[in-house]
């Protein structure tokens, strides 16, 4: 059902580019990796533009133990507890220790985090034992970080950025990656980028879900491409659902930052009752998986399609200054958050799983690295600690760039020729691509979402198997067709992983196995295309 080779293109429209390092993705991880490779010919590509990344849209902040009285040991403990102790402890140690230096480096490059009268304006978020979250422009931290990194990159002439560059497939022979095949939407042609080293930093796969905070471009293209080439995917069942996204008919699922609750916002149900005290002693600052399930339970109990965030006890000037982006967005839909309730419900937000790497972003495929949300270092375990995602991209992006640079210095590889592709016209059974995308997203949200069980997962697998029988009979030559194949692959692997893990841990919640099972499942799962069918049994 998942063939080794999905992509067929017309070689008569292929151009070729040669670089030392190809970086796919222009969020914090990809940009930070590029900076480390100054002096080499580097091409950074993105599916749309550098401002269409999850990093750019990030609101809450970046966690780092740089406040007086805080420590990396405390940050380490919080991260392990949130991850339900299936994190890789060595990866977490790297994150919290090197993160301090990477954040200070970012500041030295001109990143302007918000300050109060005496220090940085650290805020508190769920499951942190200390106020260690740095933020910028109130609730536009990602925007400030992206501008800082792009400014730094603009001073490095060897780095080139290209937008509207969609990766169709990774190129490679046997276990060796030699670059990527791209659709260049600007010139409507196909380009083979031949690269000595390739770094994947393309983000997660939130668009496989009907309700998601992710940009429309986040369809799991690189996870699927790497899987097709034999890369290992790990922790795919662990997907984090953000508890509070704006909910109104016709409006996008705009994220209402965790920081809103960190600053004193409370959750109430449709009856006006504050309900989190019934679910966790930390109430609104409980771990995200707990808050998400509590909201679902309250929606079910009160027969409502949302709950509400209440900021009315906070100073109105403070709200406007601290959350200008959220304030202006809600106001567009007639809600003044200084005096009105914000309708919210959970949505898919962040993938803990992805392409398995070591602590320098190296995958099991030669010349291929991965960093940021697309990668799986084990740093997040079963549930990401709030505001650790930007830190992970910064730390492991730098590490991937560093080791790629070292390898390039001694690179003795051969010249890679353009792979041959069969000439095709779009063929196979007729498929309404957009209907199929909607169907996948709806199925994953209902059956493999916040709450799962054997029945829903079995139904999902059966329906995916049916769709797969004709999805891969169709040979696409358009971007949306390739995207739907990628969405299918990621959805199928995730569903199988969720089916196999017969326990509840962190963001993975099984109604039929509601408790953690340390004896059998205090471990991680991995899949490759070679062992995948064994995983289904």
Residue 521 lies in a domain: yes
- Please tell me the predicted confidence (pLDDT) of residue 12: 45
Q: Is the pLDDT of residue 421 over 80?
A: no
Residue-wise pLDDT tens digits, 509-529: 999 999 999 999 999 999 999
pLDDT range class, residue 401, cuts 50, 70, 90: very high
- Cα 458 to the center of its chain, rounded Å: 26
Q: Is the pLDDT of residue 420 over 50?
A: no
Identify the CA nearest to 366 among candidates 234, 168, 174: 174
Residue 130 lies in a domain: no
Over residues 155-169, mean pLDDT: 96
- Please tell me the predicted confidence (pLDDT) of residue 414: 53
Residue 117 lies in a domain: no
Asked if 239 contacts 205 with a C-beta cutoff of 8 angstroms, the reply is: no
Over residues 387-394, mean pLDDT: 97
Q: Is the pLDDT of residue 144 over 50?
A: yes
Copy the structure tokens of residue 276: 């989190």
Residues 6 or more apart whose Cβ sits within 8 Å of residue 155? none
- Please tell me the predicted confidence (pLDDT) of residue 431: 82
Structural domain count of the chain: 2
pLDDT range class, residue 473, cuts 50, 70, 90: confident
Residue-wise pLDDT tens digits, 264-279: 999 999 999 999 999 9
The CATH number covering residue 445 comes to 1.20.58.100
Q: Is the pLDDT of residue 500 over 90?
A: yes
Residue 91 lies in a domain: no
Catalytic residues: 288
Alpha-helical (H) ranges within 109-191 are: 141-153
Q: How far apart are CA 163 and CA 88, in angstroms?
A: 34
Identify the CA nearest to 386 among candidates 165, 92, 79: 79
- Please tell me the predicted confidence (pLDDT) of residue 428: 63
The CATH number covering residue 299 comes to 3.90.700.10
Q: Tell which phi-psi region holds residue 124, choosing left (phi > 0), alpha (psi between -120 and 50) or beta.
A: beta
**Most confident among 125-129, 186-190, 217-221 (mean pLDDT):** 217-221
Q: How far apart are CA 128 and CA 74, in angstroms?
A: 9
Residue-wise pLDDT tens digits, 279-319: 999 999 998 899 999 999 999 999 999 999 999 999 999 99
Q: Among the listed ranges 84-88, 145-149, 298-302, 421-425, which one has the minimum average pLDDT value?
A: 421-425
Q: Among the listed ranges 121-135, 227-241, 447-461, 462-476, which one has the minimum average pLDDT value?
A: 462-476
Copy the structure tokens of residue 133: 């979250």
- Cα 419 to the center of its chain, rounded Å: 30
Residue-wise pLDDT tens digits, 88-116: 999 999 999 999 999 999 999 999 999 99
Q: Is the pLDDT of residue 51 over 60?
A: yes
Residue 400 lies in a domain: no
- Please tell me the predicted confidence (pLDDT) of residue 427: 58
- Please tell me the predicted confidence (pLDDT) of residue 472: 77
Residue 280 lies in a domain: yes
State which of 347, 368, 397 marks the end of a domain: 347
* Mean per-residue pLDDT over the chain, rounded: 92
- Domain of residue 463 covers 433-536
Identify the CA nearest to 154 among candidates 299, 26, 27, 35: 35
Residue count of the chain, please give it.
Answer: 537
- Please tell me the predicted confidence (pLDDT) of residue 6: 44
State which of 319, 347, 375 marks the end of a domain: 347
Over residues 158-166, mean pLDDT: 97
Asked if 143 contacts 63 with a C-beta cutoff of 8 angstroms, the reply is: no
pLDDT range class, residue 10, cuts 50, 70, 90: very low
Over residues 71-75, mean pLDDT: 98
Asked if 24 contacts 202 with a C-beta cutoff of 8 angstroms, the reply is: yes
Identify the CA nearest to 499 among candidates 236, 230, 210, 297: 236
Residue 232 lies in a domain: no
Whether 247 and 343 map to the same domain: the answer is yes
What's the burial of 268, exposed, middle or buried (CB within 10 Å: 0-12/13-18/19+)?
A: middle
Q: How far is CA 346 from CA 308, 314, 464, 504, in A?
A: 11, 23, 24, 18
- Please tell me the predicted confidence (pLDDT) of residue 105: 98
Residue 527 lies in a domain: yes
Identify the CA nearest to 300 among candidates 251, 346, 366, 253: 346
- pLDDT top residue among 22 and 417: 22
State which of 347, 367, 392 marks the end of a domain: 347
Q: How far apart are CA 261 and CA 368, in angstroms?
A: 40
């Amino acid at each position: 059902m998942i063939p080794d080779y999905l992509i067929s293109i017309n070689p008569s429209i292929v151009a070729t580019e040669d670089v030392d390092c190809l970086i796919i993705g222009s969020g914090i991880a990809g940009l930070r990796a590029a900076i480390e490779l100054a002096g080499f010919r580097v091409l950074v590509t993105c599916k749309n533009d550098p401002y269409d990344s999850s990093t750019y849209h990030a609101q809450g902040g970046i966690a780092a133990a740089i406040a007086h009285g805080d420590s990396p040991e405390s940050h380490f403990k919080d991260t392990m507890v949130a991850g339900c102790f299936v994190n890789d402890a060595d990866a977490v140690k790297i994150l919290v220790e090197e993160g301090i230096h990477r954040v200070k480096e970012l500041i030295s490059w001109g990143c302007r985090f918000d300050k109060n009268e005496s220090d940085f304006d650290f805020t508190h978020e769920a499951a942190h034992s200390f106020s260690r979250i740095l933020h910028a422009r109130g609730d536009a931290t990602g925007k400030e970080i992206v501008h800082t990194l792009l400014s730094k990159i603009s001073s490095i002439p060897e780095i080139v950025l290209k937008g509207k560059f969609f990766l169709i497939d990774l190129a490679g022979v046997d276990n060796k990656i030699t670059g990527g095949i791209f659709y260049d939407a600007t010139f409507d042609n196909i380009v083979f980028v031949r690269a000595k080293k390739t770094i994947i930093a393309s983000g997660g796969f939130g668009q496989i879900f009907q309700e998601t905070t992710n940009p429309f471009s986040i369809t799991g293209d690189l996870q699927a491409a790497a899987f097709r080439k034999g890369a290992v995917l790990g922790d795919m069942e662990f997907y984090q659902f953000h508890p509070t996204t704006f909910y109104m008919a016709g409006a996008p699922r705009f994220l209402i930052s965790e920081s809103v609750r960190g600053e004193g916002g409370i959750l109430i149900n449709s009856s006006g009752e504050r309900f989190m005290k019934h679910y966790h002693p930390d109430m609104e600052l409980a771990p995200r998986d707990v808050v998400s399930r509590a909201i679902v339970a309250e929606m079910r109990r009160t027969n409502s399609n949302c709950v509400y965030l209440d900021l009315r006890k906070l100073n109105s000037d403070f709200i406007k200054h601290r959350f200008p982006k959220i304030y202006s967005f809600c106001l567009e839909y007639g809600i003044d958050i200084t005096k009105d309730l914000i309708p919210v419900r959970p949505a898919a937000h962040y993938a803990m799983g992805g392409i398995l790497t070591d602590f320098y972003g190296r995958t099991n495929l030669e010349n291929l690295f991965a960093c940021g949300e697309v990668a799986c270092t084990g740093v997040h375990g079963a549930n990401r600690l709030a505001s650790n995602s930007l830190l992970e991209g910064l730390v492991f992006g730098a590490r991937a760039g560093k080791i790629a640079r070292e390898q390039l210095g001694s690179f003795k590889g051969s010249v890679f020729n353009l792979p041959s592709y069969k000439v095709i016209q779009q063929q196979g059974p007729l498929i309404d691509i957009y209907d199929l995308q909607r169907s996948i997203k709806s199925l994953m949200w209902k059956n493999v979402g916040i709450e799962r069980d054997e029945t829903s997962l079995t139904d999902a697998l059966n329906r995916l198997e049916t769709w797969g029988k004709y999805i891969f009979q169709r040979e696409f030559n358009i971007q949306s067709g390739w995207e739907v194949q990628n969405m299918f692959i990621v959805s199928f692997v995730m569903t199988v992983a969720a089916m196999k893990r017969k326990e509840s841990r962190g963001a993975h919640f099984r109604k039929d196995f509601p408790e953690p099972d340390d004896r059998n499942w205090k471990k991680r799962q991995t899949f490759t295309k070679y062992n995948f069918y064994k995983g289904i049994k």
